[in-house]
Amino acid sequence: MRIFDPHVHMTSRTTDDYEAMADSGVTAIVEPAFWLGQPRTSVGSFVDYFASLVGWEPYRAAQFGIAHHCTIALNPKEANDTGLAREVLEVLPRWLAKDRVVAVGEVGYDSMTPAEDDAFSAQIALAADADLPMLVHTPHRDKLAGTRRTLDVLAEQDFPPERSIIDHNNELTVEVLADTGCWMAFSIYPDTKVDERRMVAILQEYGTERMLVNSAADWGRSDPLKVSKVVAAMQEAGFSDDDISTVVWDNPVAAYGQSGRLELDVPGQEADSTFEGSSIRRTSG
Amino acid sequence: MTDQTAPTDPAEVTAHLDARLDDDARAWFAESRDRIGDDPAAVRVLFPAVSRRVGRGPLAPGGDGDDPFVWHRDDAGRALLLAAVDPGARPGELRDCYTHGDARERRGVLRSLEVVEVDDEVTAELVDDALRTNDVRLVAAALGPAGVAVLDDDGFAQAVLKAVFVDLDLERIAGIPDRVTPELSRMMADFVHERVAAGRAVPASVWTVIDRHPPADRLAAIEAERDHEDPHRAAAAAAALDARP
Ligand SMILES: [Zn+2]
């Protein structure tokens, strides 16, 4: 089964993870720009991070036949450092214009502060300018209210639902989203969020249309093979291959394909290829 | 234009690029140049989009896209977008396009130096940065006529040594052989000696540099390696010297 993991933070993962993902069937991914676990203190740190998302990571991924794409944004946590946020927002248009940048994201709310409102709203405008979809995650705390507020803000700025990918959903937020026309994404985590069993139940209740499943693997406890585990759980529950493929391939391709910047054919990589002179291989000679 | 010669003015680049564009790309490109003419800051979002809009292949029909000295369509497109920036705003925009650019964008900025006017100071800054990388595409693009023009003799010598380390064909570097000093000939001969002593191969193009001012003592030392007791060294010496024209 060909798998597209539409939300995975590979910067935090090893090259061995790329290899295991490829073995599990992953041939395409989207890596959203996000929080790195501790606050950055200068715009240069953001710029270097964005540069790795459009440069080094696609190179690493391509070694294993994985087509790497990314989304670029200022995340809500760091939006609260308003001086820095202003500087980051200023450089974002350049980075949103790069090849294989398929959405503005991940944005949304963390603590639902006025500064987060400002950054969210400014980035909705940037998405419209750059002609890109948006990846918006629902907040960890006060999730249901945060989801409603997210939808309100998108609607206020006339951002099209079919270009909105709403992530980190659960059994309650999906109820709110089901009739909105937004894409509904689910992050499958080992402990928190949704697991494979609950995901199958959600798909049984709501169907496969506009549904996305991702590992959201990052620097925390997480599992970059979760999408393939959902595939196995769906097979066990009796979903057809077509239905499974809709969720783990067709839907992410359709959602992010709206950017016009998916490049799903990875050129064959020479074993000794390098990125700007650097290699991930540890070979002698 | 053959794939050996770089274009030197915007009109020449325009003609080559125009011949390779389809109607959509041509329209996007014309509109982009107009937008930048009206507002130089527009280059910030148009510059990164060039590869997917005008294509990535070699600019000259039949050119070798893997040859690091070859101009690509997107290099030409980027050079022309920078040429459309008002000269007053150009140094700042050009520098920022480089700083925020990926490798293809940086190569486009470096190539633009061949066809747009910028201060030597800006050129020198970008060329120095490119020569610090290990990216053959950037090193080759920095070693065109405009790039080497801002290097003094020492800088030029270091650049040529860098080029041999990243396996570029030295004969393709602008200023070879005219700008080779006796010091650079000596340095290149020492490089060959070091490689031969390690039993390793050297590219034939080193001789263009060495034989500009042949350093008799160094050449004798390399010649003596032919008889070295280590067969790897002797073989490396023979291979290097037999490639001398
Ligand atoms: Zn995430």
Q: What ipTM was reported for this prediction?
A: 0.84
Residue A268 banded pLDDT, cuts 50, 70, 90: low
The residue of chain B with its CA nearest to that of A54 is B102
Given this model, what pLDDT does residue A174 score? 96
**A98 neighbourhood in chain B, CB within 8 Å:** 48, 102
Residue A75's CATH number: 3.20.20.140
Ligand 1 ion: Cβ-proximal residues, 5 Å cutoff: A 34, 216
pLDDT in tens, B26-55: 999 999 999 999 999 999 999 999 999 999
The answer to whether residue A282 is domain-embedded is no
The answer to whether residue A27 is domain-embedded is yes
Taking every pair of Cα atoms in chain A, the longest distance, rounded to a whole number of angstroms, is: 60
Taking the C-alpha atoms of residue B114 and residue B142, their distance in angstroms, rounded to an integer, is 10
Given this model, what pLDDT does residue B2 score? 45
Taking the C-alpha atoms of residue A162 and residue A173, their distance in angstroms, rounded to an integer, is 17
The residue of chain B with its CA nearest to that of A46 is B100
Ligand 1 geometric centre to CA of A32 (Å): 6
pLDDT in tens, A42-83: 999 999 999 999 999 999 999 999 999 999 999 999 999 999
State the Cα torsion A77-A81-A86-A92 to the nearest 10°.
-30
Residue A275 banded pLDDT, cuts 50, 70, 90: confident
Is the pLDDT score of A36 beyond 50? yes
**A47 neighbourhood in chain B, CB within 8 Å:** 99-100
In sequence order, what DSSP letters do the residues of B178-229 get, joined into one string?
TT--HHHHHHHHHHHHHHHHTT----TTHHHHHTTS--HHHHHHHHHGGG-S
Letter string b/e over residues A127-154, b meaning 16 or more CB atoms within 10 A of that residue's CB: bbebebbbbbbbbeeebeebbebbbebb
The answer to whether the CB of A149 falls within 8 A of the CB of A274 is: no
The answer to whether residue A246 is domain-embedded is yes
The answer to whether the CB of A167 falls within 8 A of the CB of A185 is: yes
The answer to whether residue A245 is domain-embedded is yes
CB atoms within 10 A of CB B111: 28
**A261 neighbourhood in chain B, CB within 8 Å:** 52
Given this model, what pLDDT does residue B1 score? 45
Which of A97, A276, A278 is opposite residue B49, by nearest beta carbon?
A97
The answer to whether residue A223 is domain-embedded is yes
Which of B46, B102, B133 is opposite residue A98, by nearest beta carbon?
B102
Ligand 1 geometric centre to CA of A136 (Å): 10
Residue A53's domain spans which residues?
Answer: 3-257
Is A125 in the B-facing interface, judged by CB distances under 8 Å? Answer: no
Number of H helices, E strands in chain B: 14, 0
Residues of B within an 8 Å Cβ radius of A: 44-49, 51-52, 96, 99-100, 102-103, 133-136, 138, 166
Ligand 1 geometric centre to CA of A184 (Å): 14
Is the pLDDT score of B147 beyond 50? yes
The answer to whether residue A278 is domain-embedded is no
C-beta atoms of A98 and B48 within 8 A: yes
pLDDT in tens, B91-130: 999 999 999 999 999 999 999 999 998 999 999 999 999 9
CA atoms within 13 A on the CB side of B30: 8
The answer to whether residue A107 is domain-embedded is yes
Taking the C-alpha atoms of residue A60 and residue B100, their distance in angstroms, rounded to an integer, is 21
Mean pLDDT (whole number) for B202-220 = 97
Q: Which two tokens stand for residue B133?
A: 């990388």
Which of A94, A277, A278 is opposite residue B48, by nearest beta carbon?
A94
pLDDT in tens, A183-199: 999 999 887 668 999 99
Mean pLDDT (whole number) for A232-259 = 98
Ligand 1 geometric centre to CA of A105 (Å): 9
Given this model, what pLDDT does residue B11 score? 87
Which of A47, A54, A94 is opposite residue B44, by nearest beta carbon?
A94
C-beta atoms of A277 and B100 within 8 A: no
pTM of the model: 0.89
Given this model, what pLDDT does residue B134 score? 87
Residue A270 banded pLDDT, cuts 50, 70, 90: low
How many folded domains does chain A comprise? 1
Ligand 1 geometric centre to CA of A106 (Å): 7
The residue of chain B with its CA nearest to that of A49 is B100
Given this model, what pLDDT does residue A285 score? 37
For residue B190, give how far its alpha carbon lies from the nearest alpha carbon of chain A (Å). 23
Q: Give, in order, the Cα–Cα distances in Å from B55 to each of B25, B51, B58, B135.
A: 9, 5, 9, 21
The answer to whether residue A78 is domain-embedded is yes
Residue B9 banded pLDDT, cuts 50, 70, 90: confident
Nearest to A9 by CA among A226, A229, A282: A226
